[in-house]
Chains A and B, each alone.
Chain A
Amino acid sequence: MRLHPLLLSEAYLQHTRIRIASYRQTFTVLEKKRTMIKRPYWKPTLILLFGCLSWASGQQLTDLDPPDLEGSPAGVVAGVRAGNVVDAISSDPLEELRDRQASIQRVFKRVSPSVVALGSADRRKQGWGSGVIVSEDGLILTAGHVTEATGDQILVYLEDGREMVGQRLGANMNRDAAMVQLIPTNEDEKFPYVEVAEADTAELGDWVVAMGHPGGYDPTRPAPLRLGRVLQKQSDKLLVTDCTLAGGDSGGALFDLQGRLIGINSSIAQSLSHNMHVAMAVFHRGWDRMKAGGENGTWGELKNLFDEPLPGYESKIDKSGNRALLGAKLDKRSRNGVLVRDVPPGYPAAEGGLRPGDVIIGFDGESVGDYTQLFPLLSKMEPGDQVEILVSRRGQIETVVVTMGDRAKLLDQQAR
């Protein structure tokens, strides 16, 4: 039951709630349309007018939004002046498709040996998942719920049929990201690995391919390839694509057409277009901490993966489930840094060593001038995230590392 978190987890229930809400919305709209039709004859005229307006504005929007146009904008403009130019440009209307096909075939060839299947070495824990090797010495990226299901000792099935042993490293469970270290059988063993993309390189509409082992490892085939597009980016943490995934694909890889790893398969919703992948920014942010493993290497809870409703839905997301808390009283009007007024004991700020009188000038690698700059950085944090805070203390610049707390839990404790 654990390989596929959406079926049981809070995230899934949350999603069900979204879906119900969106159903209600759809049906309310339909109901409204129905009643509108029943109204006196002059009403439809107004509706028609309104329809024209929205159509016109829609047209404008498409004009402002060129990425869907084929070829270069210059070519399109030239084409308006002289038809034969367009003919010259689009002599093979399938040229773009052919290029794309060549890229997909190339990507599959390059990355296929690095996509692995993961199983539990412990018979009582029957879990299957996937993973992808990202370094020569066998570091594997996978999904948090996969390593949670397999336990510490993991069997790794390579594309060439080898069965090897891996060791569980850390995980950011808030975001369903995890790492596994392959244990080489001899010292100078080198593994086939893929290139990891920088954070947030994927763009909406990009063509992408997903790989993994749906239904578990099958020695008769490599990981099947699936094609889709990036439909949504939820901040830089989650990608939604229509590369269809199923149980067993979890922890598998999402590649762009340059063959770079841009996501790790995480979960699905009922629609064929709702396949969720952990974005690379999540791994980059927690890389060292996850790789170090140990007690500090695993943090957070798999509660709510969504920051926004899924494509095609409109309802609001309740994010109160996993909001983080710093636990310091800040001066919201101060300039040239944010003054810490008070640090109540028992809260993360105090435990991390933040003191009253400190002036926060940097947060999570970003410089901070005033509270309006700090707030968005703070609200990005999730419970268990470790953040480096740069403070100016008695003229000295110091770094304080704070582990963010769980807002709901801490405030609940406080109330008691």
Chain B
Amino acid sequence: MNFGLIKCWGPVMALSLGLSGSLLGQVEFVDDERPGDAQSTFEDTIGRYFESIDRVRPKTRYEKMHGSTLREFAPLVDRSRQSTVKIYKGDEVRVLGTVVAQEGLIITKASEIRNNQDLAVQLPNKEIVPAELIEVNEENDLALLWVHQFDLTPITWAPGSDLLIGSLLASSGTVSLPLTIGTVSLGLRNLLESKKGFLGISMEAAKDGSGLFVVDVLDGTGAEDAGLRRGDLIQAIDGAAMVTTHALSNTVSESEPGDVVVLQVVREEETMMVEVTLGDKDSGMGFQMPMHEQLDQTARMGGRVSRRRSGYPAAIQHDMLLKPNQCGGPLVNIDGNAVGVNIARASRVKSYAIPSEVIQEWLGDPKELAVTVLETRVKNAESARLVAEEALEEAKAVELDVRGALVDLEAQRAASELRLESATELPNGSEEGSATEGESSPR
């Protein structure tokens, strides 16, 4: 984040957040700068601003992030921190990683390390080694890395999956205190973005509770195609009576685009059934709820969020105060066993983790995986050796060849020197000329 950008966002922030201009001058955005990262968004800027506030304010006793509280939870991360690594891009910690096999296998959040050719991993012993990207699991946003190490400590996964809401959790970093602590907010959630159906009307509840009046029909939507008009009274969808606007929008958005619904409509005191093919909410008009946008704004208060934070088929929702670059590390329960890997900071109130079962299912047996990975490495090394051996042979041949040529040249030079000597022994008359010849001969 360069300073010019802050200045240019300044007025916008002052407007949207009610800040004074003099305050902005004192805010510094110094941590983890991302040079060459063109994707720094306005959202990021706001997040950094909020983080800067929390940095200036001293943490008071009893706060979850205060050392005294974290110390109480320190036993939870005793083992898992030996399996937590930092993943660097340049000088910056991009994200954390979790060791899954002793033979150098590490998993992390894929979208944070994408397009990075030169990845480096800082091991628990502080040594920094280069890492190789082996595989990416797009759906769960996980990446498998390999480092040339054979004595890493793999994470212990929690047996079973009965993670109750209210279970205590800690996120382990590389130090003895946990990064942050919290609890399970909700059980496993499916966060796949299913497409929501879209009817294409705005409506108002009838005062007598008899249904919903159509206030407006949007162009190019299923409602228009079906011939709905302003003033129609919708009484039911697929036989279910509709009294409130919430009920109707819930029913519609639970359906999928392309579904056909049957509306019971009263028009000019005549009841009719109208078939409507639902459209796609995203491709439909900007049917926006300003209030939800407003709610979103408060969800951003408190810091940056991960760029990818949705679309996971199964995720644990918890309330730990993570930063985007603290994802990828293990999430441990009260026994110190990992129940998952942190995958995203999603808002002020929630973070997501991929549960251990999903990870274990993807990776399979760690030993077998290590065998597969190492076999590939061996094959690669073998072919590299073959290439090198070929090159060596070639080099040897070239060397022999060149050596022979060199010997020939030496012999020729020796012969010409001999000739020169015999020429100087010629009679006196030609002395001047021979001197000229001798000077020019090295050219």
**Cα distance A243–B185 in the bound complex, in angstroms:** 11
Contact of B302 among A104, A163, A270 (CB under 8 A): A270
B289 CB contacts on chain A under 8 angstroms: 126
Tell me if B303 is interfacial: C-beta within 8 Å of chain A: yes
Contact of A204 among B62, B185, B298 (CB under 8 A): B62
Tell me if A55 is interfacial: C-beta within 8 Å of chain B: no
Chain B residues 279 to 317 lying within 8 A of chain A, measured CB to CB, are: 289-292, 294-299, 301-303, 317
B297 CB contacts on chain A under 8 angstroms: 4, 7, 247
Q: Does B244 lie within 8 Å of A121, measured CB to CB?
A: yes
Tell me if B348 is interfacial: C-beta within 8 Å of chain A: yes
Q: Number of A interface residues at 8 Å Cβ cutoff, please give it.
A: 73
The chain B residue sitting closest to A163, CB to CB, is: B247
Q: Does B295 lie within 8 Å of A123, measured CB to CB?
A: no
Q: Does A3 lie within 8 Å of B291, measured CB to CB?
A: yes
Q: Quick one: given A105-B166, A126-B289, A273-B54, are A97 and B334 in contact (CB under 8 Å)?
A: yes
Tell me if B401 is interfacial: C-beta within 8 Å of chain A: no
**Cα distance A1–B297 in the bound complex, in angstroms:** 10
Q: Does A312 lie within 8 Å of B183, measured CB to CB?
A: no
B63 CB contacts on chain A under 8 angstroms: 229, 231, 242, 273, 311
B69 CB contacts on chain A under 8 angstroms: 229
Tell me if A279 is interfacial: C-beta within 8 Å of chain B: no
Q: Does A20 lie within 8 Å of B301, measured CB to CB?
A: no
> What sequence of 0s and 1s flags, for each residue 98-126 of chain A, a beta carbon within 8 Å of any chain B beta carbon?
10110011111000000000010111001
Which of A32-40, A188-196, A216-224, A281-289 lies on the face that meets chain B? A216-224
Contact of B250 among A68, A98, A219 (CB under 8 A): A219
Q: Does A227 lie within 8 Å of B334, measured CB to CB?
A: no
Q: Quick one: given A121-B205, A121-B244, A272-B302, are A226 and B165 in contact (CB under 8 Å)?
A: no
B58 CB contacts on chain A under 8 angstroms: 312
Tell me if A89 is interfacial: C-beta within 8 Å of chain B: no
Contact of B203 among A1, A104, A121, A123 (CB under 8 A): A123
Tell me if B56 is interfacial: C-beta within 8 Å of chain A: yes
Q: Does B299 lie within 8 Å of A246, measured CB to CB?
A: yes
Q: Does B205 lie within 8 Å of A123, measured CB to CB?
A: yes
Q: Does A97 lie within 8 Å of B72, measured CB to CB?
A: yes
Q: Quick one: given A224-B319, A273-B54, are A108 and B18 in contact (CB under 8 Å)?
A: no
Chain B residues 346 to 362 lying within 8 A of chain A, measured CB to CB, are: 347-350
B231 CB contacts on chain A under 8 angstroms: none
The chain A residue sitting closest to B347, CB to CB, is: A246
Tell me if A382 is interfacial: C-beta within 8 Å of chain B: no
A268 CB contacts on chain B under 8 angstroms: 298, 301, 348
B76 CB contacts on chain A under 8 angstroms: 94
23 CB contacts below 8 A, A to B, read A3-B291, A68-B68, A97-B168, A101-B334, A104-B167, A108-B165, A205-B61, A221-B186, A224-B319, A225-B165, A225-B183, A225-B184, A226-B182, A227-B168, A229-B63, A229-B69, A231-B60, A242-B63, A268-B301, A270-B54, A271-B54, A272-B321, A312-B60
| Chain B interface residues toward A at CB < 8 A | 18-20, 22-23, 26, 50, 53-54, 56-65, 68-69, 72-73, 75-76, 164-168, 182-186, 189, 203-205, 244-247, 250, 254, 289-292, 294-299, 301-303, 317, 319, 321, 334, 347-350
